[in-house]
């Protein structure tokens, strides 16, 4: 249990972050917990697995990859402790393998849409979006990137470091400069924390303003998302919760204490409607956002939606 608690804490504090990484860390935590779980009965085994599943899911509310990973990893059908344990180990490992391969596939598929000379704008720090960009560069395409700072946590700094390691020419801009620079951009490539059944994207706060500016300037807006970023629970009517993080990330609490009439809000994600999205690059191919429902139905299954 201690190891699961440690993973949960790392996800909560964003030491482990990014929807894909969170999902993989949760799958690993469940696998390791199940491996060592000493349960006297099937009832105890089920109750303990449920307990750690709920703990992991509760760490961050928006990235749907987290509940999807937990549910897919902790699935078992046997009523025997040993067999159920083996099923969980197998399912978790399968999830981790699929997640790794998905990033590679997204890179391969998405990079085919990147042209020589393209200027690509990206937001926050998405491993899926970066997979497309770095694959295109490694294929020999002469590209450059405009990366946003992504306040308040400044994940843009992770992105520029990653791109710099590949030798990709990169410009860092503040979030409010997105529209100003859109004229220089050919394509916007971002990641996803969740994709709803109606094709709407949930990603780092500010993503929707990149989409709006791209739409206005008639630039292409691409989303890179593994199929486990699609949200089955939106099919059964559940809205995607937008995480609101501590105001301390935005303003020094000492300064805020003096401002008795001021409140600070810090939503971590926003919604981009499907109409602003040109394509979603997934591990099963490029799809229009309108196909989100089909991806959920055929690749994730209704049972994950918690009817």
Task: Annotate the chain with three-state secondary structure.
Answer: CHHHHHHHHHHHCCCCCCHHHHHHHHHHHHHHHHHHCCCCCHHHHHHHHHHHHHHHHCCCCCCCHHHHHHHHHCCCCCCCHHHHHHHHHHHHHHHHHHHHHHHHHHHHHHHCCCCCCCEEEECCCCHHHHHHHHHHHHCCCCCEEEEECCCCCCCHHHHHHHHHHHCCCEEEECHHHHHHHHHHCCEEEECCCEECCCCCEEEECCHHHHHHHHHHCCCEEEEECCHHHECHHHCCCCCCCCCECCHHHCCCHHHHHCCCCCCCCCECEEEECHHHCCEEEECCEEECHHHHHHHHHHHHCHHHHCC
In the bound state with ligand RUB, the residue whose beta carbon lies nearer, of 61 and 89, is 61
**Could you confirm whether 38 is annotated as catalytic?**
no
Contact residue for ligand RUB among 4, 7, 8, 20 (CB under 6 A): 20
Query: Cβ 294 to ligand RUB, closest distance in Å?
Result: 21
The answer to the question of whether 60 is labelled as a binding residue is yes
In the bound state with ligand RUB, the residue whose beta carbon lies nearer, of 233 and 282, is 282
The answer to the question of whether 229 is labelled as a binding residue is yes
Query: Cβ 63 to ligand RUB, closest distance in Å?
Result: 6
In the bound state with ligand RUB, the residue whose beta carbon lies nearer, of 81 and 210, is 210
Contact residue for ligand RUB among 31, 85, 204, 219 (CB under 6 A): 204
The answer to the question of whether 204 is labelled as a binding residue is yes
Contact residue for ligand RUB among 53, 92, 203, 233 (CB under 6 A): 203
Residue 305 interacts with ligand RUB (CB under 6 A)? no
Contact residue for ligand RUB among 67, 107, 152, 191 (CB under 6 A): 191
Annotated catalytic residues are 124, 193
Chain residues in the site for ligand RUB (CB under 6 A): 17-21, 63, 124, 126-128, 155, 191-193, 203-204, 268
């Amino acid at each position: 249990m201690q190891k699961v608690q440690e993973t949960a804490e790392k996800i909560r504090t964003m030491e482990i972050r990014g929807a894909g990484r969170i999902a993989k860390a949760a799958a690993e935590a469940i696998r390791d917990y199940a491996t060592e779980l000493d349960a006297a009965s099937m009832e105890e085994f089920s109750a303990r697995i449920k307990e750690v599943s709920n703990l992991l899911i509760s760490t961050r509310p928006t990235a749907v990859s987290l509940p999807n990973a937990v549910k897919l990893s902790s699935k078992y059908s046997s009523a025997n402790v040993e067999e159920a344990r083996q099923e969980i180990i197998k399912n978790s490992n399968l999830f981790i393998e699929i997640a790794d391969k998905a990033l590679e596939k997204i890179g391969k598929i998405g990079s085919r849409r990147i042209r020589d000379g393209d200027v690509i704008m990206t937001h926050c720090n998405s491993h899926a979006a970066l997979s497309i960009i770095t694959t295109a560069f490694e294929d020999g395409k002469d590209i450059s990137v405009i990366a946003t700072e992504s306040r308040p946590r400044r994940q843009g700094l992770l992105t520029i470091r990653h791109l710099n390691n590949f030798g990709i020419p990169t410009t860092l801009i503040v979030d409010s400069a997105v529209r100003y620079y859109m004229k220089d951009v050919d394509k916007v490539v971002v990641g996803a924390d969740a994709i709803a059944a109606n094709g709407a994207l949930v990603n780092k706060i500010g993503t929707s303003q990149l989409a709006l500016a791209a739409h206005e300037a008639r630039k292409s807006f691409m989303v890179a998302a593994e199929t486990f970023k699609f949200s089955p629970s939106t099919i059964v009517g559940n809205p995607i919760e937008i995480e609101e993080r501590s105001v301390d990330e935005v303003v020094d609490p000492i300064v805020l204490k003096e401002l008795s009439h001021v409140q600070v809000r810090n939503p971590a994600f926003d919604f981009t409607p499907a109409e602003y999205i040109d394509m979603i690059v997934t591990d099963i191919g490029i799809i229009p956002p309108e196909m989100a429902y089909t991806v959920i139905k055929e690749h994730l299954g209704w049972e994950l939606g918690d009817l």
